[in-house]
Amino acid sequence: MKDYRIIFQKKGIVKYISHLDLNRCMIRAIRRSGLPAWYTEGFHPHLYLMFPLALSLGTESICEVMDFRLTEELPPEEISEKLNSALPEGLHVISVREPHMQAADITAAEYLVILSAPEIPDLKSVLENFTNQPEILIQKKTKKGFREIDIKSMIIIKNIDIHDADLYLTVILPAGNQENLNINILTDAVQNYADKPILIKSACRTKIFSENYQDFF
Amino acid sequence: MLSPEIEAHLPDVQKPSRYTGGEIGQIIKDKSQIAVRFAFCFPDIYDVGMSHLGMKILYSLMNQRENYWCERVFAPWPDMEEIMRQEHILLYALESGDEIRNFDFIGFTLQYEMSYTNILNMLDLAGVPVLQKDRGEQIFPLVVGGGPCACNPEPIADFFDLFILGEGEEVNLELMDLYYQMHQKHATRSEFLKAAAQIQGIYVPSLYEIEYHPDGTVKKITAHDHAPEKITKRVITDMNHVYYPEQVVIPFIEPIHDRVSVEVLRGCIRGCRFCQAGFLYRPFREKSAETVCKQGIALCENSGYDELSLSSLSTSDHSQIEQILDQLLEYTEQAHVNLSLPSLRIDNFSKSVLEKVTTIRKSGLTFAPEAGTQRLRDVINKNVTEEEVMRTCKIAFEGGYTTVKLYFMMGLPTETDEDIIGIADLAQKVVNLFYDMPDRAKGKLQVSISTATFVPKPFTPFEFEPQTEKAEILRKQQILKKAIKSKKIKASMHISDVSQMEAVLARGDRRICSVIYDAWKSGCRLDSWEEFFDASRWYAAFEKNHLDPAFYANRTRNYEELMPWDHIDYLVSKKFLIRENQKAHAAQTTPPCRESCAGCGANQCLGRPCF
């Protein structure tokens, strides 16, 4: 019995696979791959699979994590090769390793968002003005309706760049069990702030961090 | 290939994977090498259509031909439809992302009557004229339909170029081959349709003229342009050699039936008189145990699914069912696959079969006695006795089951209040049985009874019968409610105007086309979804066309009346249906086909007795 951690990317139309559906999709891919997957014992055995951090629907990623267990030890190359041959286009194993940290160690994640706004001449300064507001209030949906919260302290802007009239925003947001901010909440807030339409061309998770912004692995 | 224009809207809809394609198992071809393109349309949403076995079979079968390409199309959910209409996005096929209006064939599978408005809506979303007469002489796109509801295609005849009757494995390819030849020779639409009408199983409604009596019944059906007077359905005679896919498209989202299915047999030996499928799919034909196991295992291996369903109208009627289960269980247990048998019958539900099923999964048991008294069960030829129900429940309770679901129909021919009270009595006996067992399973017993309104269908012995009116059904439901004494019995009784509409559409004539058209125009779609069905719009459409739904749903037909579908031959003779109807009224049963042949006529296609 051996635990493995898979780092995989989720790019293209597979970004529309929800977290629950991804779980089913991965189970079937592992079964098709012929890898000797480990099943839980007990009355209803099921294939053991764990995703330490969910990804919101519509967001791409180059750093998704999935843990699972094989009944025997296999070379990482063989595992990624077999899995990749069974995965749908867009889902692709980048590396296979042994898990070191646990889901609870996850603190933050980095995203690259590409925005475009043909009607806004200086998108960069709109974005800077957005981040320089004294507070950034959003409506958060809770069980009891909507609650207003300030997300300003949660946002770390790492970089803003312009390429071919598109704005590339690299941002770090809290992630994991303690505090979590969905990238869509930020992009919605940006869109609401501007008086002209802003198109989110893509959003992609690029890194997952543990404490002190060390890479989660 | 999803276009960026469409993708831009996907964040705004529920379950965007419905509209992307890209699933494992989808078939992508090089367009430049393709001679005939077929858009296989399921007239309901992705989640429903992706569960449908027939589509999986025909999709793979057509794609076996290198130069033919079959793709999938589903009805959008209203959120996506709104975006499509606003943004002028035309209905596209999932594999290529291409608009289906440029395809050679647009084929609809006709699985239930309440999907008819979706067909009109999908054609309209595709930018294809909804009415056949408006499509002009360009040969494509040809709008074709097949599936069980094609047995009476008259209510939707105006929207289709042609219908494919019976099983499609051979005739679909014959039709595409003919198209390929004629398209190359620049044939017109009407030239093609006249030629296609010569293929057995192809019905071209525009070549038939219907005349009516002053009382609204059909007077005469006349064929033109050498079209056959009777159109006979197609049947596959050898189930072991017919094509069956060993790889299917695996959806990203969870469809209604999330599993792979292997078809074990076609037809049914039972002859339940209310059951249209039991007559439409005759004669009875089995796959060998070897074929079933080979196909089932291949499907699991290729898909990675952990559930395999043995699919048919009555799986336990397979002559080698125990052998199939033994062989499959050997595989499924080590491969962590659940085996499910969705259609077991009470009367031959042996202890050993139950044990085999329960080694895999223990869930609730579902039985369909259909009627509450033996007399009424004899009328409908549901050859199940109370003793058998009790015996099976006893085996089930001994096996640890604690929930039993019993399905019944209301409004059956000859039904009395006594028969309704019989439903409650039968459920009560099941409750008593459980508590009388000293070694009963721990846990709470629940007996659920569910009643649906009976809908008379063409090609059944009850095609002559009136449907019971809504007020009378409501009264009977009250009787049933009062008759239930135990808190262990939970009754769910469905009533809605859907049943009456279903009855109209099932036995309607060609005049119903304009009712469907007006209903759709006034906003009807997704009628099989309770939240969207709007009876008032349907009734308004009847009024506008000066037609009375009761004429179609609630009227008794005499044996001499010419039915709107009498030019269509499903091999089961009308004489046989009349004989069965007479026996029903005399409460006489007909034994299963395996015991003795009732002479329905279906075996003419085999050229031998069925057994």
Q: Is A197 on the interface with B (CB under 8 A)?
A: no
Instruction: Identify all chain B residues contacting A20, using CB atoms and an 8 Å cutoff.
Output: 254
Contact assessment for residue B453 and residue B412, using Cβ atoms and an 8 Å cutoff: no
Query: Does residue B355 carry a pLDDT above 80?
Result: no
Domain end among A80, A99, A118: A99
The alpha carbon of residue B514 and the mean position of all alpha carbons in its chain are separated, in whole angstroms, by 24
How confident is the model at residue B346, as a pLDDT? 53
Q: Say if the Cβ atoms of B304 and A89 lie within 8 Å.
A: no
The pLDDT tens digits of the residues spanning A77-99 come to 999 999 999 999 999 999 999 99
* Rounded Cα distance, B329 and B360, in Å: 8
Would you say B262 and B242 are in contact if contact means Cβ atoms under 8 Å apart?
Answer: no
A66, A124: one domain: no
The order of strands in the sheet holding B365-370 is B365-370, B403-410, B446-453, B489-493
Q: What is the pLDDT of residue B494?
A: 76
The answer to whether the beta carbons of residues A172 and A110 sit under 8 Å apart is: yes
- pLDDT tier at B341, thresholds 50, 70, 90: confident
A98-143: per-residue pLDDT in tens?
999 999 999 999 999 999 999 998 999 999 999 999 999 988 877 7
Q: Which residues of B touch A86 (CB under 8 A)?
A: 304
Query: Burial level of B57, CB count in 10 A (0-12/13-18/19+)?
Result: buried
Residue of B nearest to A23 (CA): B252
Q: Helical H runs in A116-206?
A: 123-131, 183-193
A13 near B CB under 8 A: yes
Q: Do B252 and A17 touch (CB under 8 A)?
A: yes
| Residue in B closest to A89 by C-alpha | B22
pTM: 0.94
End residue of a domain, out of A52, A79, A99 = A99
Q: Bridge partners of A157? A: A171
DSSP state of B48: H
Question: Burial of B247 by CB count in 10 Å (0-12 exposed, 13-18 middle, 19+ buried)?
Answer: middle
Check if the beta carbon of residue B262 is closer than 8 Å to that of residue B312.
no
- A14 — contact with chain B (CB < 8 Å)? yes
**CB-side exposure of B319: number of CA atoms within 13 Å?**
12
Are A61 and A115 found together in one domain?
Answer: no
Contacts of B572 (CB under 8 A, 6+ apart): B279, B280, B282, B459, B600, B601, B602
DSSP codes joined into one string, B152-214: S-GGGGGG-SEEE-B-HHHHHHHHHHHHHHHHHTT--HHHHHHHHTTSTTEE-GGGEEEEE-T
- Output the pLDDT for position B345: 60
pLDDT digits (tens, 9 = 90+) for B129-141: 999 999 999 999 9
Chain A residues in contact with B20 (beta carbon < 8 A) = 13, 16
Examine the domain organization and report whether A89 and A22 are in the same domain: yes
Q: Which of chain B's residues have a Cβ under 8 Å away from the Cβ of A32?
A: 301-304
CB distance B73 to B43 below 8 Å: no
From the CA of B10, how many Å to the nearest CA of chain A? Answer: 8
Lowest mean pLDDT among A5-9, B222-226, B343-347, B471-475: B343-347
Interior angle at CA B457, CA B275 and CA B211, nearest 5: 155
Q: Chain B contacts of A39, Cβ < 8 Å?
A: 336
Say which of A17, A28, A45 has its CB closest to residue B304: A28
Q: Are residues A70 and A135 in the same domain?
A: no
Residue B549 confidence class, pLDDT cut points 50, 70, 90? very high
Residue B359 scores a pLDDT above 90: no
**What does CATH list as the number for B4-232?**
3.40.50.280
Specify burial of residue A32 (Cβ count, 10 A radius: 0-12, 13-18, 19+): buried
- In this structure, chain B runs to a length of 611
Residues A157 and A94 in one domain: no
Cβ under 8 Å to B: A residues 15-44: 16-18, 20-21, 24-25, 27-32, 39
With beta carbons under 8 A apart, name residues in chain A contacting B336: 31, 39, 45-47
A85 plus A113 within the same structural domain: no
Residue pair B103/B38 in contact by the 8 Å Cβ criterion: yes
| CB neighbours of residue A41 within 10 Å | 6
- Euclidean distance between CA atoms B306 and B289, whole angstroms: 21
Q: Which of A15, A23, A24 best tests the B interface by mutation, with the highest count of B CBs <10 A?
A: A24
- Say which CATH number the domain at A197 has: 3.30.70
Domain count, chain A: 2
Rounded Cα gap, residues B221 and B212, in angstroms? 9
Residue of A nearest to B249 (CA): A88
Predicted confidence at residue B363, as pLDDT, reads 54
Chain-wide mean pLDDT for chain B? Answer: 94
**Cα separation of B228 and B165, whole Å?**
14
Structure tokens belonging to residue A166: 């598109």
Residue positions counted in chain A: 217
Average pLDDT over residues B44-58: 97
Query: Which stretch of DSSP H or E encloses residue B521?
Result: helix B512-521
Q: Do A47 and B252 touch (CB under 8 A)?
A: no
Same domain, yes or no: A93 and A183: no
Tens of pLDDT, residues B185-217: 999 999 999 999 999 999 999 999 999 999 999
* Same domain (yes/no): A114, A53: no
The per-residue pLDDT for B352 is 66
> Is A190 within 8 Å of A131 (Cβ atoms)?
no
CB neighbours of A48 closer than 8 A, spacing ≥ 6?
A: A37, A38, A39, A40, A68, A69
Domain extent for A77: 2-99
Q: Is B391 within 8 Å of B351 (Cβ atoms)?
A: no
Q: How far is A212 from chain B (nearest CA, A)?
A: 33
Residues A109 and A201 reside in one and the same domain:
yes
pLDDT at A156: 94
Rounded distance between C-alpha atoms, residue B260 and residue B250, angstroms:
9
Residue of B11, B24, B302 lying closest to A58 (CB–CB): B11
A14: nearest CB among B22, B250, B302? B22
Among B50, B61, B95, smallest CA distance to B305 is for: B50
DSSP sequence for B525-569: --TTSTTT--HHHHHHHHHHTT--HHHHHS-PPPTTSBPTTTTEE
Mutate to test the interface with B, among A15, A21, A27, A31 (most CBs of B within 10 A): A31
In Å, how far is A45's CA from the nearest CA of chain B?
8
Q: Cα-Cα-Cα-Cα dihedral of B76, B77, B82, B87, to 10°?
A: -40
Tokens of B435: 């508590």
pLDDT of residue B267: 96
Task: Give the model's confidence band at B360: pLDDT under 50 very low, under 70 low, under 90 confident, else very high.
Answer: very low
Predicted pLDDT at B441: 74
Please tell me the distance from the alpha carbon of residue A5 to that of residue A217, in angstroms, as a whole number.
Answer: 8
* E-strand stretches of chain A: 2-10, 49-50, 60-70, 91-97, 108-116, 137-142, 145-150, 156-163, 166-174, 199-209
By DSSP bridging, strand B208-212 and strand B446-453 are unpaired
In chain A, what residues touch B22 (CB-CB under 8 Å)?
12-14, 88-90
Cβ distance of B10 and A90 shorter than 8 Å: no
User: Cβ–Cβ of A16/B21 closer than 8 Å?
Assistant: no
What proportion of chain A, given as a percentage, has pLDDT over 90?
Answer: 88
Interface size between A and B, measured as CB pairs under 8 A: 64
Select the residue from B24, B308, B333 to test the A interface by mutation, using most A Cβ atoms within 10 A: B24
What is the C-alpha to C-alpha distance for residues B528 and B50, in angstroms, rounded to an integer? 16
Of B7, B17, B336, nearest to A21 by CB-CB distance is B17
- A88 in reach of chain B (CB within 8 A): yes
Segment B262-285, tens digit of pLDDT: 999 999 999 999 999 999 999 999
Q: Which of A16, A32, A39 sits opposite B20 (nearest CB)?
A: A16
CA A197 to CA A188: how far, in whole Å?
A: 11
**CB of A90 less than 8 A from some CB of B:** yes
- Which CATH number fits the domain that encloses residue A80? 3.30.70.580
pLDDT at B41: 98
Q: Of the candidates B2, B21, B250, which has its C-beta nearest A28's C-beta?
A: B250
Angstrom distance (rounded) from CA B62 to CA B69 = 7
DSSP A198: -
Domain stop point among A66, A99, A132: A99
* Banded pLDDT at B70 (limits 50, 70, 90): very high
Q: Are the beta carbons of A27 and B306 separated by less than 8 Å? A: yes
Distance CA A105, CA A209 (A): 8
Whether residues B16 and A31 touch (CB distance < 8 A) is answered with no
Interface of B with A (CB under 8 A): 2, 7-8, 10-11, 15-17, 20-24, 250, 252-254, 258, 301-306, 336
Give me Rg for the CA atoms of chain A.
Answer: 19
Contacts of A27 in chain B (CB under 8 A): 304, 306
The phi, psi pair for B285, rounded to 5°, reads -140, 135
Give whole-number Cα distances, B190 to B135, B231, B356, in Å: 11, 18, 56
**Would you state the pLDDT for residue B350?**
61
CA-based Rg of chain B, rounded to a whole angstrom?
24
The verdict on a CB contact (< 8 Å) between A32 and B2 is no
